[in-house]
Each structure stands twice: as C-alpha cells, then as structure tokens.
Amino acid sequence: MRNRAAVLVVASLVLAGAAYAATSGPNVKGTVVRSPAPVACFPGEPCDQPPQATFVVFSRNGHSTNVRIGARGAFAVRLAPGLYTVSLAPSHGGGVTPSTVRAPRLGIAHPHLVQR
C-alpha cells in the first residue's frame, strides 16, 4: 500500500511538472547585441568582426540550457526559477554582460545581453 501511494505521488509530481512546462510560455525574453567597442586590427590589414554567437547558454547546478539566438538577436526560453550564469556559444574568446540572469517565478525577465 505504501509503495502504491509513493508511486502515485511521484507520478502526480512528474505530470504536474510536465503540464507546467508545456502550458507556460517563456519567462526569460531578451536580446543579444555586439559590444560597440571596435576590434583591434593591424594597420593596413583587412579586418572583420568576429562572428556573432549562435546560442545563449544558461547554466545552473551543473545543468545547461542552450537557446538559439534569432536573426535580430532575440531569444526566449522557459527556465526553472532561479539565478543562472549566462554565456554565449561559440564564445570566440569574448564574454557577455551581464553574466547572470534571474529567471522569475512570475512574470518575464527581459535581459539585454552585450557580447564582448
């Protein structure tokens, strides 16, 4: 009897979590832009900007979520509430500012990320 009750509790938690994720929209919507700082180039040599990142990577507690960046730098994702470290992939040796984002329990966070 005890095992059956435990299975029912676990099953209901899994279903509730799946339903929450499936029916809820993104709670983090933002944009990624390039830093306005110019790239250092040798005088007289052609100089191209490094390629822009393709993904925003949100990391927390050893787990990462990759989110594709749209053509105009926009992204949207549903994350469990909490504080996440933010990076870009591929990084091309630069970072991102701010380096952390808090996913809210209610509402939507709108981070403006700058690729350095």
pTM: 0.69
Q: What percent of the chain has pLDDT over 70?
A: 72
Cα–Cα separations (whole angstroms), residue 70 to 31, 36, 73, 109, 110? 9, 20, 5, 18, 15
The domain limits of the chain are 26-115
Q: Which CATH architecture has domain 26-115?
A: Sandwich (2.60)
User: Which residue from 51, 54, 32 is spatially nearest to 101, judged by alpha carbons?
Assistant: 32
pLDDT digits (tens, 9 = 90+) for 17-71: 444 455 589 999 999 998 765 566 777 777 766 667 799 999 999 999 999 999 8
